[in-house]
């Protein structure tokens, strides 16, 4: 299956994705942005320093970059003789994640701008890149805040106070936007409330979800 891991910043997406990739030994993982990725770090700098560069053009580039990398990894998956019934590709973020960030980041530009991005996004997204299953890692705002500081990403910590309104807006919109997009693109998803769970407990729940998923819902060739 193509499996996407979703959730707010610091929900544990990357950690869970890596653990699942290690557990399912025949799987492939798309790690779209590594910690030292120039585009990813430039995005964070612009975002947290409130630079005016987060335009529709930049957000479109992010989605197209994801689409290209995903297409390449699906080709690799097939060339290795793997199939979507028995093997998995894990994504630590996917197209709907990019839509959520773009929606929140472009809101200050007005409703017509947002509507324009919505229309553009609908044309950019293909059926092939929509996961067969998504696992959404949910948490309270207090848990988000705690985990954000625990992971210690410098640009987030140093700019937290100046961006607290942004983080609160993102948090309050994230799950709702995810569910609306999931419904729009007919995405199968399961929500795990991670507030009182450690990494290992979240990992075990994710395995249970994947192993019990009805493969008849996977029509990917």
Q: Could you tell me which residues are annotated as the binding site for ATP?
A: 7-15, 147-151
Residue 80 phi, psi (nearest 5): -85, 5
Q: Which of 92, 132, 176, 219 is catalytic?
A: 92
Cα–Cα distance, 64 to 49 (Å, whole number): 24
What residue numbers does the annotated binding site cover?
Answer: 7-15, 147-151
Cα–Cα distances (Å) from 106 to 11, 33, 35, 78, in that order, read: 23, 21, 24, 37
User: Roughly how many angstroms between the first and final C-alpha of the chain, as a whole number?
Assistant: 10
In 3D space, the residue among 78, 63, 39, 173 whose CA is nearest the CA of residue 124 turns out to be 63
Judge whether 92 counts as a catalytic residue: yes
Q: 49: which 2 tokens? A: 């320093």
The residues carrying an active-site annotation are 92
């Amino acid at each position: 299956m193509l499996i996407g891991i979703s959730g707010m910043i610091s929900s544990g997406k990357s950690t869970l994705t890596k653990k699942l990739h290690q557990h399912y030994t025949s799987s492939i993982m798309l790690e779209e942005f590594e910690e030292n990725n120039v585009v990813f770090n430039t995005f964070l700098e612009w975002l947290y320093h409130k630079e005016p560069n987060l335009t529709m053009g930049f957000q479109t580039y992010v989605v197209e970059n994801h689409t290209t990398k995903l297409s390449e990894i699906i080709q690799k998956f097939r060339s290795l003789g793997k199939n979507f019934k028995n093997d998995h590709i894990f994504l630590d973020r996917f197209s709907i994640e990019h839509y959520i960030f773009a929606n929140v980041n472009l809101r200050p530009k007005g409703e017509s701008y947002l509507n324009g991005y919505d229309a553009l996004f609908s044309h950019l997204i293909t059926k092939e890149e929509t996961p067969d299953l998504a696992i959404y890692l949910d948490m309270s705002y207090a848990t988000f805040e705690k985990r954000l500081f625990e992971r210690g990403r410098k640009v987030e910590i140093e700019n937290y106070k100046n961006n607290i309104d942004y983080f609160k807006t993102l948090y309050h919109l994230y799950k709702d936007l995810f569910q609306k997009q999931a419904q729009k693109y007919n995405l199968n998803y399961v929500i795990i409330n991670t507030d009182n769970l450690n990494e290992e407990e979240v990992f075990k729940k994710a395995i249970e979800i994947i192993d019990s998923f009805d493969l008849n819902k996977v029509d990917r060739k």
